[in-house]
């Protein structure tokens, strides 16, 4: 392993639990699976180790560095696609695949992305204010902050960062960019620190703003919603969804999606319909798992992780 790979090593959170959630047993080891967020390949490699020679794994990632890592896997059963998981339907159609046996998503950003100052995701070390997961396309955080309206910046910070000082932060950003361009992570962090008068214990005042801008720049929540719906349309009977989220906005979307697609639609009580005749939901909930104390101790970034697992039924997709 080279020096940079060692420096930015990634510990895969809930590795065994997420792959176990796919239920790779019996004939299912011959199936086709999706790793929608390859990262540095921890989940993909474990899935491949459990698949038979007839099994197949298609992975997705937007990050060119993740793609470079995936290209090191020399396995005829494996394919990496440089795109968001939101494109899963069209991407699989091009491969002649219309059904899959399991989907794993590990949401958010990886340790290498956070730890590499050049990527601009973190305020803990100074770097260019980029924040793009896919550095080959899209607009950087610096360019967005340089051109966006105060109203939109405030809306993004409030909605995606759940930041109660969004008004003050947006106003400060507009005032500062009129003096000089905001191009560095420490620069933005200082602007936020000056605007936020009350700080949460143990949390940098820039945490929520950086989260919000990153989510917006990468369309993370929009991609998640699109990907969940697309994944459900592809899942075969008894196929599993295994989804790890790291903050409340992601988990809320996953939780609500699983819940709404696992609940039986209740008819008018006055109608003579038997429970057995009601249309069945397309999913059933399997399990909700949080990291053990030992995993959190070994990897503090696992603290906020939640794994939710659901299974495809024979019910019609709504």
Residues in binding site for S-adenosyl-L-methionine: 41-43, 61, 85, 106, 113
Phi, psi of 187 (to 5 degrees): -65, -50
The residue among 129, 116, 16 whose CA lies nearest residue 66 is: 116
Our CA angle for 228, 308, 249, nearest 5°, is: 65
- Residue pair 250/107 in contact (Cβ under 8 Å)? The answer is yes
DSSP secondary structure string for all residues of 232-262? HHHEEEEEEEEEEE-SHHHHHHHHHHHHHTT
Our CA angle for 266, 267, 268, nearest 5°, is: 125
Regarding beta strands 283-289 and 100-106, do their DSSP bridges make them parallel or antiparallel, or are they unpaired?
Answer: unpaired
What sign for the dihedral angle of Cα 293, 284, 259, 29?
A: positive
Distances (CA, A) of 220 to 85, 154, 160, 240, 301: 10, 18, 10, 22, 19
What dihedral do alpha carbons 36, 12, 256, 98 form, nearest 10°?
20
What dihedral do alpha carbons 180, 183, 186, 187 form, nearest 10°?
20
Q: Which residues are annotated as a binding site?
A: 41-43, 61, 85, 106, 113
Phi, psi of 82 (to 5 degrees): -85, 85
Distances (CA, A) of 259 to 32, 59, 251, 285, 286: 25, 26, 12, 8, 11
Residue 138: how many CB atoms within 10 A of its CB? 16
- Residue pair 286/309 in contact (Cβ under 8 Å)? The answer is yes
């Amino acid at each position: 392993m080279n020096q940079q790979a060692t420096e930015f090593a990634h510990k895969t959170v809930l590795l065994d639990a997420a792959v176990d959630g796919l239920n790779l047993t019996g004939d299912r080891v011959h199936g086709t699976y999706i790793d929608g967020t390859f990262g540095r390949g921890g989940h993909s490699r474990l899935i491949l180790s459990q698949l038979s020679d007839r099994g197949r794994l298609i992975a997705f990632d937007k990050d060119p560095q993740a793609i470079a890592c995936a290209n090191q896997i020399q396995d005829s059963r494996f394919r990496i696609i440089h795109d968001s998981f939101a494109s899963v339907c069209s991407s699989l159609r091009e491969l002649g695949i219309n059904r899959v046996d399991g989907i794993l998503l590990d949401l958010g950003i990886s340790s290498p992305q956070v730890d590499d100052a050049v990527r601009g995701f973190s305020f803990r070390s100074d770097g260019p204010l980029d924040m793009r997961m896919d550095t080959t396309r899209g607009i950087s955080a610096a360019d967005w902050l340089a051109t966006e309206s105060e109203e939109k910046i405030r809306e993004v910070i409030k909605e995606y960062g759940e930041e109660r000082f969004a008004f003050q932060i947006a106003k400060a950003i507009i005032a500062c960019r009129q003096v000089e361009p905001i191009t560095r992570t420490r620069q933005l962090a200082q602007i936020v620190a000056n605007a936020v008068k009350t700080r949460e214990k143990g949390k940098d005042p820039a945490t929520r703003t950086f989260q919000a801008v990153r989510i917006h720049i990468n369309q993370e929540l929009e991609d998640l919603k699109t990907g969940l719906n697309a994944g459900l349309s592809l899942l075969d009977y008894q196929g599993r969804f295994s989804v790890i989220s790291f903050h409340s906005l992601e988990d809320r979307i996953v939780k609500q999606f699983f819940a709404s697609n696992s609940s039986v639609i209740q008819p008018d009580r006055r109608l003579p319909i038997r429970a057995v005749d009601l249309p069945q939901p397309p999913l059933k909930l399997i399990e909700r798992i949080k990291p053990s104390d030992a995993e959190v101790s070994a990897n503090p970034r696992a603290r906020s992780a939640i794994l939710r697992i659901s299974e495809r039924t024979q019910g019609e997709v709504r």
